[in-house]
């Protein structure tokens, strides 16, 4: 036996989802409606020339594969979907969803194929899922494939989010397939071939709100109950045996986890871009990295998704209310499981968890020890304004705020107050007149409030730097890595992966990756806005 086989042999498959849940009785891999089923068995396409690009060592370790990939060719064969390992039992999941506020019926894994579940030595269960490995019965109009640019974005962002402490699906690997994929990136009739790629995503479960909605919408109550009971027993075992009271408690947990997730997105300036109910994880993970983006300049109205440009349903500032809207849809789908009104407590729990969690998070970003209702409501409200009256880089603003010496009583003039923050501003000339005074006034109040907490400059900085990242996967950074990779140079992918491992640390050699968005990237596709074409 070669070293490679023995390395991949460490994957201990135990495919509980397919073993315990209702399966599509038909086995044809044709686009169709699939009723009364959680999944369809399907094999990935055998691509022609799989090529290893990158892997996340933390994820391979988590799966007991060790840090390094010993035989990259063999690894690429398996994680492109070309080769199967003993114990794999591949399948695509059935789900529905609301897209942009409208019920869209059956969606499902149209280009995701689960390879199976691995139980590691620590007893954790991880589902391995390939994105872009070919069509399934749920592919609708799509081809089942994914292009290199969107796969790089998913691979890097999943891991960047993990290291930022944001709940997320993980990414084991990024592999090129060697096969072209035709995409019309701008939806303007100029379709062209792009390199195809596959990301292997990893999560305890890929079940979505839409996984329950499809059964609710079709009145398939037996299957609804089967999936709910399965999810509770597998992913929420602490809740005990499913019952009406347990369903209510379970939904409450989903609501609280979702609130916590959105608070993290707001903290780091992440905009998901497509918060359809099929893109909401039942575990409160960030899932389905498509036309997502990071705020460079703080703008609550911003969305990266060009498809959503006119309504901006999924803009940064709307994420908290959209998550709640999505939870209401989930509650509606779960209604057949319990008496009317049972799920209301969960929706209330969302409101409470979000409101108190958001305040705590914002207080932490500002370096306050606690949120003080007396003063901080006003401070936060005015902060929302001063961040938007002039173009202000969100990440740099909060990071620099840690250098602002709230204890220095000699710091009183507008120039002195603004000096530590100048780097965060995009357009110098905007920082004048009324704007300048308003920001300085906020800083005066902030300084007074900050000093009340006591302590030292160093303590404050240390506390703030733990929640305010220095490095985020700015849209233009990912785009630069993509353009290099499309020319065959993968080095920037590796470099970004390395930098994003320590987003809260100062990395003196990588200062250039912490700079604000350069002017050339302001309106460039990929750097500012993205289409859903991926």
Alpha-carbon distance 386 to 444, whole Å? 13
Rounded to a whole number of angstroms, the minimum distance from the CB of residue 177 to ligand AMP is: 13
Binding residues vs ligand AMP (CB under 6 A): 107-111, 138-140, 142-145, 274, 278-279, 288, 290
Pick from ligand AMP, Mg ion, none: which does 393 bind, CB < 5 to 8 A by kind?
Answer: none
Alpha-carbon distance 314 to 114, whole Å? 28
Rounded to a whole number of angstroms, the minimum distance from the CB of residue 112 to ligand AMP is: 6
Pick from ligand AMP, Mg ion, none: which does 110 bind, CB < 5 to 8 A by kind?
Answer: ligand AMP
φ, ψ dihedrals at 264, nearest 5°: -65, -45
Q: Do 25 and 37 touch, CB atoms closer than 8 A?
A: yes
Nearer CB in complex with Mg ion: 272/359: 272
Alpha-carbon distance 437 to 434, whole Å? 5
Residue 96: name the closest of 360, 300, 277, 315 by CA. Answer: 277
Q: Is 512 helix (H, G, I), strand (E, B) or coil?
A: helix
**DSSP state at residue 528:** S
How far the first Cα of the chain sits from its last, in Å, is 39
- DSSP states of 89-139: --EEE--EEEETTEEEEE---SSEEEEEEEE-TT--EEEEEEESB---TT-
Please list the residues that pair with 359 across neighbouring strands. none
Pick from Mg ion, ligand AMP, none: which does 209 bind, CB < 5 to 8 A by kind?
Answer: none
286 binds Mg ion (CB under 5 A): no
Nearer CB in complex with ligand AMP: 148/274: 274
Nearer CB in complex with Mg ion: 23/278: 278
- DSSP states of 185-247: TTSSS--EEEEEEEEEEEES---BHHHHHHHHHTT-HHHHHHHHHHHHHHH-GGG-S--HHHH
Rule CB under 5 A: which of 366-425 touch Mg ion?
A: none
Q: Do 520 and 179 touch, CB atoms closer than 8 A?
A: no
Nearer CB in complex with ligand AMP: 72/140: 140
279 binds Mg ion (CB under 5 A): yes
- Virtual torsion, Cα 240, 278, 54, 142, nearest 10 deg: 140
Rounded to a whole number of angstroms, the minimum distance from the CB of residue 290 to Mg ion is: 7
154 binds Mg ion (CB under 5 A): no
Pick from ligand AMP, Mg ion, none: which does 142 bind, CB < 5 to 8 A by kind?
Answer: ligand AMP
Nearer CB in complex with ligand AMP: 291/450: 291
Pick from Mg ion, ligand AMP, none: which does 202 bind, CB < 5 to 8 A by kind?
Answer: none
Nearer CB in complex with ligand AMP: 392/529: 529
Rounded to a whole number of angstroms, the minimum distance from the CB of residue 142 to ligand AMP is: 2
Rounded to a whole number of angstroms, the minimum distance from the CB of residue 93 to ligand AMP is: 9
Pick from Mg ion, ligand AMP, none: which does 290 bind, CB < 5 to 8 A by kind?
Answer: ligand AMP
Pick from Mg ion, ligand AMP, none: which does 503 bind, CB < 5 to 8 A by kind?
Answer: none
299 binds Mg ion (CB under 5 A): no
By CB under 5 A, name the one of 159, 288, 296, 393 that touches Mg ion.
288
Alpha-carbon distance 495 to 449, whole Å? 40
Rule CB under 5 A: which of 416-475 touch Mg ion?
A: none
List, edge to edge, every strand of the sheet that includes 192-203: 39-41, 91-93, 112-119, 125-131, 192-203, 170-183, 51-55
24 binds Mg ion (CB under 5 A): no
Alpha-carbon distance 397 to 404, whole Å? 10
Asked about 278 being catalytic, the answer comes back as yes
127 binds Mg ion (CB under 5 A): no
Q: Which stretch binds Mg ion (CB under 5 A): 116-124, 148-156, 281-289, 370-378?
A: 281-289
Nearer CB in complex with ligand AMP: 95/368: 95
Please give the size of the binding site for Mg ion, defined by CB under 5 A.
3
Write down the catalytic residue from 24, 109, 179, 278: 278
Residues at the contact surface with Mg ion, assessed by CB under 5 A: 278-279, 288
Question: Which residues carry out catalysis?
Answer: 278
């Amino acid at each position: 036996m070669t070293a490679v086989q023995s390395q991949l042999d460490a994957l201990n498959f135990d495919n509980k989802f397919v073993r315990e849940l209702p399966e599509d009785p038909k086995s044809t891999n044709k686009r169709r409606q699939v009723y009364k089923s959680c999944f369809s068995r399907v094999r990935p396409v055998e691509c022609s020339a799989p090529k290893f690009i990158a892997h996340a060592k933390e994820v391979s370790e988590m799966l007991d594969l060790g840090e390094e990939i010993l035989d990259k060719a063999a690894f690429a064969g398996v994680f492109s979907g070309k080769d199967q390992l003993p114990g794999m039992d591949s399948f695509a999941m059935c789900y529905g969803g609301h897209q942009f506020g409208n019920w869209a019926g059956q969606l499902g894994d149209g280009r995701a194929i689960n390879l199976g579940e691995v139980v590691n030595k620590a007893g954790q269960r991880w589902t391995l899922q390939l994105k872009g490995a070919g069509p399934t019965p749920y592919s609708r109009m799509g081809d089942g494939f994914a292009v290199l640019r969107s796969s790089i974005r998913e691979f890097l962002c999943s891991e960047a989010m993990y290291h930022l402490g944001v709940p997320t699906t993980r990414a084991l690997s990024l592999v090129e397939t060697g096969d072209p994929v035709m995409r019309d990136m701008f939806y303007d009739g100029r379709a062209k071939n792009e390199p195809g790629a596959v990301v292997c995503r990893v999560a305890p479960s890929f079940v979505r709100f839409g996984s329950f909605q499809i059964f609710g919408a079709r009145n398939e109550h037996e299957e609804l109950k089967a999936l709910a009971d399965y999810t509770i027993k597998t992913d929420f075992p602490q809740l005990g045996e499913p019952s009406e009271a347990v369903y209510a408690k379970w939904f409450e947990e989903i609501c609280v986890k979702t609130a916590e997730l959105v608070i993290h997105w707001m903290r780091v300036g992440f905009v998901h871009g497509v918060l359809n109910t099929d893109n909401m994880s039942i575990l409160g993970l960030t899932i389905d990295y498509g036309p997502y983006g990071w705020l460079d300049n703080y703008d609550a109205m911003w969305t990266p998704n060009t498809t959503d440009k006119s309504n901006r349903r999924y803009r940064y500032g709307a994420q908290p209310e959209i998550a709640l809207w999505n939870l209401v849809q989930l509650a509606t789908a779960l209604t057949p499981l319990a008496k009317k009104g049972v799920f209301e407590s969960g929706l209330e729990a969302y409101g409470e968890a979000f409101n108190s969690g958001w305040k705590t998070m914002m207080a932490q970003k500002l370096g306050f020890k606690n949120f003080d209702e007396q003063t901080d409501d006003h401070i936060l409200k005015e902060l929302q304004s001063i961040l938007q009256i002039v173009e202000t880089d969100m990440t740099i603003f909060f990071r620099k705020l840690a250098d602002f010496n709230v204890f220095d009583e000699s710091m009183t003039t507008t120039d002195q107050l603004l000096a530590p923050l100048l780097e965060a501003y995009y357009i110098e000339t905007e920082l004048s007149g009324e704007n300048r005074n308003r920001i300085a006034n906020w800083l005066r109040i902030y300084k007074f409030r900050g000093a009340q907490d006591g302590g030292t400059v160093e303590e404050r900085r240390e506390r703030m730097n733990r929640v305010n990242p220095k490095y985020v996967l700015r849209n233009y950074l990912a785009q630069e890595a993509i353009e290099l990779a499309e020319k065959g140079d993968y080095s920037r992918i590796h470099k970004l992966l390395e930098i994003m491992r320590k987003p809260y640390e100062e990395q003196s050699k990588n200062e250039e990756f912490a700079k604000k968005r350069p002017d050339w990237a302001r309106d460039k596709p990929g750097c500012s806005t993205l289409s859903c074409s991926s």
